[in-house]
Structure 1
């Protein structure tokens, strides 16, 4: 109902023909497509409409939502939001100053007409390599869905809006956590490749435990929107269209979190498999840190935030909320990026 009210003005039929689809019908058709996978036949049969009407509805609703992407996907830079995010991340595995966690995931698609070999990923299927940054609540703060499946995670990060946000005047605000696919920097922490000391081992364990949140976020996102999951089939659309679908699904994912409306299946998943795995990783990290003793704990015993220092560092960021949605457009950064406008 909220989506219908949000899109009412744009999707209201401009004709008095009885067969014109209502706003509710268009939204339902689109959400069904996102939730069930890449094929429209099931939607056509269920709603008793033509394939063309189904395609048109999906296109209209998707475009309308896409125009509102910056209202739902943004990187908070206010003092209160940063403190809340960093404090919650700290409770996971004692890793301080964390503003978000970053990773990439593959979204399969049909073979494009031009340079299909660039879209073949390491797993052998054609896809987009999508970068996501999420906070402690699994809310997506940044998405970059412009690059083909063969693109490396670190390359996508360098071309995204993230470095510009966390470098220069904002360099000391916070940092992100990534996996071994990323290089260490002043604003991105990644695992050490050959840890030897107790402090280095503890650093890796704490980082790995905290990073499970992004894995959980990707799992929930693909469970909610099965069209993004490879098991749901291959999206029969161009890379430009698939990129828009990804951004809109991330927007809807955040909308659900903002309204605190988890699905029953997700709740069951969190209670069973994924939450158990995440809890086990975190518990193992705490046990290893405890066994080494408080004197060798790499990240301190019981961290408390120096509030004045946090306020000072956050103030340097301007205290604003910055939209962080990267999307396709004319580009000159190389042949590895989609060059068509969305």
Structure 2
């Protein structure tokens, strides 16, 4: 998990209206709920709580480490739709913020509001096992991945034959499997169906996370904090989500969340060994029928 901080500026809601979360509505509501009499007092307490949570974040957001943990993740993912050797599912989601005026362009995403583009990897239990909240909304998902410790670990073979699943916003590699853009055979279509069913876990996890933490969705407004603080808030929300999942705490799925639509790359230049991995799985490994 990466917890470095960045400079940046926050987003506007669609239509050009600034969001109102942060030191405004969210802070006032939370202060009233917990009996804190002043906004400055709440800001000070919030900073202290976030700093304490950052010190233990890696205890709550972590990749499987032991052979037993890795195998259990692979088996759980396999049981969804027959995809072998899957250790996690990767994608990005946007958390709106109101940034410093000098950086508004850098934080404006393809949906035309300003945000942090948050890279998340989820496990088979709707748990978050890696989060990178350090890049402004204009950064492409694939660019973020290439600049992470996670990328280096997979490139160096730390996880053996394990792989991640991603959408076509990522480049196909031997450890990051994407769907066929233009499936030509029944086997390739079956691979895409299995991929889609398995990858749906991350979309559902995003929904749960943002239902629990409405400050992370544009429908809840835009966080009006410094980007460094927003990064910490995102990590804290992921920690609280995992705690809730580990303790079977139910979440009411909000129906008004903005739909997440992944970016698509129309053409890809990939190495032959990457294609061979996907083709081998397509031809030999999918044993479960995908309806």
Same fold (TM over 0.5): yes
2:41 equivalent in structure 1: 53
* Alignment check: 8 A CA contact 2:96 2:113 kept: yes
**2: CA distance between counterparts of 1:52 and 1:273?**
32
1:193 aligns with 2:185: no
State how many pairs are aligned. 243
Moved over 6 A (4+): none
What is the root-mean-square deviation of aligned Cα atoms in Å? 2.4
Distance 1:192 1:177, change over 3 A: same
Give the secondary-structure state (helix, strand or coil) at the position aligned to 2:144.
helix
The 5-angstrom pairing of residues 22-33 of structure 1 reads: none
Paired with 2:95 and 2:172, the residues of 1 have a C-alpha distance of: 26
Q: Separation in 2 of the partners of 1:95 and 1:181?
A: 20
| Pair 1:39-2:14 in alignment | no
Q: 1:58 to 1:89 in 2, by over 3 A?
A: same
| Structure exhibiting the larger radius of gyration computed from Cα positions | 1
Give the SS at the match of 1:75.
Answer: coil
Unaligned runs of 5+ in 2: 1-20, 258-281
1:254-333 alignment runs, 5 A limit: 254-263=242-251, 265-266=252-253, 299-301=285-287
Query: Within 1, Cα distance between the matches of 2:30 and 2:284?
Result: 54
Conserved 8 A contact 1:65-1:248: yes
Q: Which has the higher contact order (CA 8 A, sep 6+)?
A: 2
Q: How far has the Cα of 1:43 moved from its partner?
A: 2.6
Q: Quick one: distance in 2 between partners of 1:273 and 1:38?
A: 19
Distance in 2 (CA, whole Å) between partners of 1:273 and 1:245 is 22
The C-alpha deviation readout for 1:157-177, integer Å capped at 9, x for no partner, is 101121122222425330000
Give the whole-Å Cα distance in 1 for the aligned partners of 2:155 and 2:286.
26
Listed one character per residue, the Cα deviations across residues 199-229 of structure 1 (whole Å, up to 9, x for unaligned) are 1111111101100000011110011111111
Q: Which moved more, 1:128-137 or 1:41-50?
A: 41-50
- Match of residue 105, structure 1, among 93, 101, 112: 93
- Whole-Å separation in 2 of the counterparts to 1:87 and 1:273: 33
TM-score (norm. length: structure 1): 0.66
**CA 1:75–1:230 in 2, change beyond 3 Å: closer, same or farther?**
same
The structure whose residues are more often helix, as a share, is 1
